[in-house]
A and B are shown apart, each in its own frame.
Chain A
Amino acid sequence: MPTTNGDVAVLAEDLRRSFGAVEAVRSVDLAVRAGEIYGFLGPNGAGKSTCVRMLCTLLAPSGGRAAVGGFDVVRDVEAVRLRIGVALQDAALDAKLTGRELLGVQGRLYGMSRKQIAARIESFGDLVDVAALDRRIGTYSGGMRRRLDLAAALMHDPRILFLDEPTTGLDPVSRMRVWEEVRRMNREDGMTIFLTTQYLEEADALADRVGIIDGGRIVAEGTPDELKRRIGVDVIVARVEGDPAAAATVVESLDGIASVAVHGDELDIATADGAAAVGRVAVALAAAGLHASQLTLRRPTLDDVFLEVTGERLS
């Protein structure tokens, strides 16, 4: 029996997992709504994969509980497994089979008929290289493997998809293909997608909501915009010819400037409204005889958010 409201696709309450003395996941609470793309962002060793493995019934939690598709991941393993598709961090493939054979095994284990399997493989045209499907997987490039692994996860048309770092190691073209596929499945099929990543731009580009995990705990959560708004300011980056310290003094005296930081010959100028301030900064510097060779306006990024909540830069 479903244990939670059907609107919540993935639920974790005080979810914990230790390996001996290592507390990989300390206490994770999260709720992913049906139809949402949830981005789980964190550095190496943060506990992302451990969370995913617990949510997809591969790893027993040491404490707390989790439900996927409304079913408890420990007590209703069968029901959870029928509803999820999983692409783990390391592609889980058999090098000796061909791509088509592997997808065939996958389809049959999920009760699909021969015809359904053939049609499904056909529909993967954009994702996998059809020409390579009859070659042994051992001969595939890393990118082809990842995309085949994703296809295997999608074979049975799951309602909820777990992707553990789906684009790590992919070239930009392959990454775009995966991003497009993720967006399409979410938009057209209403698939709920739980995705981990170490790439800020990936979380920013794909996720409706982002949870930042560090040291086994969620340290911040919200939409990418909400998170960036937490920083609250725009950043003007000015490169000056002349004494940067003098330039900083000039800029600090202007109205509406929150702070100025000097990095070499660059000033990072924080301000509530960058667009309004950038002209005044240029004029003031010119008047002081300190020419700004370059002035750029930067919105806060998830990297800035990450820096604020963890005290470290991610990228």
Chain B
Amino acid sequence: MTAASAPPTARSAGFLADLSTLAGRAIRLMLRDLEGVIPAMIVPVFFFAVNVGSLQDQFERAAPGFDYKAFQIPVAVIFAVTGVSRASNLVIDIQQGYFDRLTIAPIRRVSLLLGLMIADLVLVMALTVPVLLMGFIAGVGFASGPLGVLAFIVLAGCWGLAFTGFPYAIALRTGSPAAVNSSFILFFPFAFLTTTFAPKEALTGWLGAVATYNPVTYLLEGLRSLVSSGWDAAALGRAALAVLAVGAVSQLLAHAVLRGRLTSGRR
């Protein structure tokens, strides 16, 4: 046996080890770049303050006993977590060639994205906490208790993760930082054509019809149930289904685009 055909000294580290290496790197970069997280913190506080300030009296006068702050906390959380991703870091990796180096490592293709997404999930769940604190300070209580708070964080985190497929797909398809930055626009129809400001019963005409088909409607319903009415299996089930549906579409898209990029060998 000659040098070239001898077994290699290197070996593949295994799927989980690769994920932990890649996620570890992504989390390290995230901590190094915390100012990038600030907008994700300000936006929800802003929306919460404006929505509550302008609409609270109106809704609470119309329906006595209705707690508009509790109604708005899930909205703030969704604004905090949706579209938060490492996609712009992925674009930088592609541009600086590091993505090539990772691609030729003996790792599974999915690890290239999953490693980043694990970091996303950590960040997204962490972002949920200060928004919830803001709610507690504003006097919002959780009808479902401490376990409900946990369920709320997990559900919000899964939603954040489900949505990341879109920015990743854009990053891999275009390799353009500008395109990735504007991918936030994708979230607008999801975010506003739903029960963001008013309960479903109050939406009429075309907005009501669109909201019926908007997965965020069911996500909000599930999150709100944990805050306002305790454990509601049906509401939580619909929320989970909505997250799964969006996640399936966005993740399949991202992985298809990744496969396309790797097989065409685009630079």
Q: Does B107 contact A (CB under 8 A)?
A: yes
Q: Does B182 contact A (CB under 8 A)?
A: no
Which residue of chain B is the closest to A191 with respect to CB atoms?
B3
Q: Does A172 contact B (CB under 8 A)?
A: no
Alpha-carbon distance A86/B103, docked complex (angstroms): 11
Cross-chain contact A157 with B93 (CB below 8 angstroms): no
Report the count of interface residues on A (CB-CB < 8 A).
47
Instruction: List which A139-167 residues lie within 8 A (CB) of chain B.
Output: 152, 156-160
Alpha-carbon distance A53/B264, docked complex (angstroms): 12
Contact of A109 (CB < 8 Å), options: B6, B21, B32, B264: B21
Q: Does A58 contact B (CB under 8 A)?
A: yes
Cross-chain contact A156 with B264 (CB below 8 angstroms): no
Cross-chain contact A70 with B4 (CB below 8 angstroms): yes
Alpha-carbon distance A22/B163, docked complex (angstroms): 38
Q: Does B9 contact A (CB under 8 A)?
A: yes
Which residue of chain A is the closest to B266 with respect to CB atoms?
A59
Which residue of chain B is the closest to A56 with respect to CB atoms?
B104
Which residue of chain B is the closest to A10 with respect to CB atoms?
B4
Cross-chain contact A109 with B105 (CB below 8 angstroms): yes
Alpha-carbon distance A95/B32, docked complex (angstroms): 12
Which residue of chain B is the closest to A68 with respect to CB atoms?
B4
Interface of A is mostly: loop
Q: Does A78 contact B (CB under 8 A)?
A: yes
Alpha-carbon distance A105/B19, docked complex (angstroms): 11
Query: Nearest-CB distance from B102 to chain A (Å)?
Result: 8
Cross-chain contact B265 with A111 (CB below 8 angstroms): no
Contact of A92 (CB < 8 Å), options: B11, B21, B96, B263: B96
Chain B 23-49 near chain A by CB (<8 Å), digits 1 or 0:
001001100110000000000000000
Cross-chain contact B107 with A109 (CB below 8 angstroms): yes
Cross-chain contact B1 with A6 (CB below 8 angstroms): yes
Q: Does A9 contact B (CB under 8 A)?
A: yes
Which residue of chain B is the closest to A4 with respect to CB atoms?
B5
Given contacts A90-B97, A105-B21, contact A58 B4 (CB under 8 A): no
Please provide the 8 A-B residue pairs with the shortest distance between their CB atoms, ordered closest to farther.
A6-B5, A59-B265, A34-B4, A156-B10, A92-B97, A9-B4, A92-B101, A111-B11
5 contacts between A and B (CB under 8 A): A6-B1, A88-B101, A101-B25, A159-B4, A191-B3
Besides the known contacts A35-B4, A92-B96, A160-B4, 6 further A-B residue pairs in the complex with CB atoms under 8 A apart:
A9-B4, A58-B265, A60-B264, A60-B265, A86-B104, A108-B13
